[in-house]
Amino acid sequence: MSLWGFLRGQFVTLPVPDEDCSGRTIIVTGANVGLGLEAARHFVRLGATKVIIACRRIDSGEKARQDIEESTHRQGVVEVWQLDLSSSASVREFAARVDKLDRVDVLLNNASLLTFQKQTVEGHELHLLVNVIYTFLLSILVLPSLRRTAAKFNVTPHLTTVSSDGAFLAMFPEAKADHIFQALDANPSVMHRYSVTKLLQLMVMKRLGEAVDASGKGHVLVNAMTPGLCRTELYRNWPFPFNLALKAFNILMARSAEMGSRTLVAAAVAGEETHAKWMSDCRLYVWPSSMKGEEGEKVTSKVWEELVNILEDVEPCVKDII
């Protein structure tokens, strides 16, 4: 990805989603604000039967629900469910609730963390925990529900993760460590951690898509996408004076949250050509250089294997589910 290509792409007018989502149940994490909120609004507008806003704070989720209902004039479609991606107990409880649904067509992993303060929660650095470890714990725990939907309704459910162009910028010396996640947890600096977690998301998504097919337990379309640079609340924790510089840059270059959300919807209804791949501007995208070639494949496999082992310690059924 060239800088010129990225900047030029920021001014592309993306197609307005027009997929008929009638009958579908769609889960969007982090949907109380920004990209997730606008994606949820699109799904409601497109006729989805149930759209679940998964967020940490119920009160903010309720505000989002009311906003969507007022703008779409559709009542009783949006539900607000509590989900804290820094808590394994919360992820388990959420997945157990999902398991009771009759149908799940899309799990859209939109929630992410960006901060410059290092925090350790449940034994892991918080970016790693939220953006990678528990995002994919949730994804795997919801797989049985997605597979049941595929078999019962003869459809192709989607498991979609919102990544970032930041994956191309990731400074990832820990890739050479004997234990990558341990090395990341031990690093006192989280300055580049967001970009690294976005790269890790792509690595895990690719291997998860391959593993889902290899298991023979039922096909689910696994993909990812980047929304480009968007004016959202993701950057609200940036310190002064970086926040002012980013605000000015966003005014000039960033997409609106609604425009960016079109990329989320596009991936969540995309065709088989996107399985185990990722998208930008509503079409297939190239891999970061750190994922290419023999060395890139080796690191990708190592990240996947380490993550599965971490998840097995949290939830011993993970390997069996996949």
List residues with catalytic annotation.
Answer: 163, 194, 198
d(CA 16, CA 77): 21
Nearest CA-CA partner of 181 in 32, 310, 69, 17 = 310
Q: Angle at the Cα of 321 (from 150 to 223), degrees rounded to 5? A: 55
The two tokens of residue 156 are: 């192709």
Measure Cα distances from 18 to 43, 74, 260 in Å: 10, 17, 15
Strand 120-121, strand 106-109: pairing: unpaired
DSSP run (H or E) holding 223: strand 221-226
Helices (H), 46-179: 58-72, 88-99, 126-127, 134-153
Backbone angles phi, psi at 109, to 5 degrees: -80, 90
Amino acid at 138: L
- Rounded to a whole number, what is the distance in angstroms from the first to the last CA of the chain? 32
Nearest CA-CA partner of 311 in 143, 161, 140 = 140
Do residues 53 and 28 lie in contact, with contact meaning Cβ atoms separated by under 8 Å?
yes
d(CA 239, CA 74): 39
d(CA 116, CA 167): 17
Name the residue with tokens 């006729």. Answer: 47
